[in-house]
Amino acid sequence: MFFENCEIIPELAQKSGFSLFITPFDFTISSKKAIKTAKTQTLTFPKNQTTIIEPEQSKIRINQIREINDLIAVKTEKDHFIIVKNAETMNTEAQNAFLKILEEPKANYHFVLFSKETTGLLETVLSRASIFIFRQKNLLEQPVSTEDRIKDLAKRLIAADNRELVRISNELSDKKLHKDPREDSKKVVATSIEILYKSYFSTKNPKFLVKIERFIRLYDNLQKNGHVKLHLVADLC
């Protein structure tokens, strides 16, 4: 389901036991009136009836999800919202623990996930959720929304010659620079594809389309657990 007004998110979440909102915005949660800015949105959820889970050191881990069990063991007559921000950062163990919690739904508890993308979320999680996608107008005219370091690497990857490809592949596979080389590589490649598409529709220059096919093949290989360093070079040469 698509939606355009972020202020209705709490209402949509209240109607579902488990909902996932795909939006380009960062969110803060407040008991005050919702305020929208260019890059953030303040959402109004009931005071003292909202629990927020956020990444710790860039990941949401299984111990954070397990803490929910103690919370939902207490019966409530009022709606209680358990909000997971940046849900795509949940590791596999955390997502599986989350699925076990959903197997026995508790009355008046609402699980609300926020994510900027579905990449990283298990299919079993996606299949259980009521998914709401924020509809942007003129998507191709919207600026690329990602971390600056990912965007910079994507631009370098698009322009790279063979020698630069080797340097970038070494950099992306370096665990000292990237805690999760595969996920960061996928983000860089996905951002590259977005930049190439938007560049083509802006300029109509076919050179951008020529590159897209190779980047899509690279993303598919990374998604299939292909060798990060090998495919970064082989698929783009």
- The percentage of residues in the chain with a pLDDT greater than 90, rounded to a whole number, is 58
* pLDDT band per the 50, 70, 90 thresholds, residue 33: very low
The whole-number pLDDT of residue 139 equals: 58
pLDDT at 38 over 50: no
* pLDDT band per the 50, 70, 90 thresholds, residue 1: confident
CA distance 113 to 206: 38
Q: Which residues contact 193 (CB under 8 A, 6 or more apart)?
A: 212, 215, 216, 219
Mean pLDDT, residues 4-16 = 90
34-71: buried (b, 16+ CB within 10 Å) or exposed (e) per residue?
beeeeeebbbbbeeeebbebebeeeebbbebbeebeee
Contact call for residues 195 and 154 (beta carbons, < 8 A) = yes
Q: Which whole-number Å values give the CA distances from 199 to 155, 161, 186, in the listed order?
A: 12, 19, 20
pLDDT tens-digit profile of 84-100? 999 999 999 999 999 99
The whole-number pLDDT of residue 178 equals: 86
Amino acid in position 134: F
The whole-number pLDDT of residue 40 equals: 65
The whole-number pLDDT of residue 35 equals: 39
What is the pLDDT of the chain when averaged over all its residues?
Answer: 88
Mean pLDDT, residues 134-148 = 73
Tokens 């207490």 locate to 74
The whole-number pLDDT of residue 11 equals: 93
Tokens 């990374």 locate to 222
pLDDT at 159 over 80: yes
The whole-number pLDDT of residue 200 equals: 86
- The percentage of residues in the chain with a pLDDT greater than 70, rounded to a whole number, is 93
- For residues 34 and 148, which has the higher predicted lDDT (pLDDT)? 148
Task: Please name each of the domains of the chain with its CATH number.
Answer: 2-136 (3.40.50.300), 143-234 (no CATH)
Angle at 11 between CA 9 and CA 15, to 5 degrees: 115
The whole-number pLDDT of residue 141 equals: 65
Tokens standing for residue 113? 């996930």
- For residues 41 and 225, which has the higher predicted lDDT (pLDDT)? 225
Q: Give the range among 21-35, 55-69, 109-123, 157-171 with minimum mean pLDDT.
A: 21-35
Q: Give the range among 39-48, 53-62, 178-187, 188-197 with minimum mean pLDDT.
A: 39-48
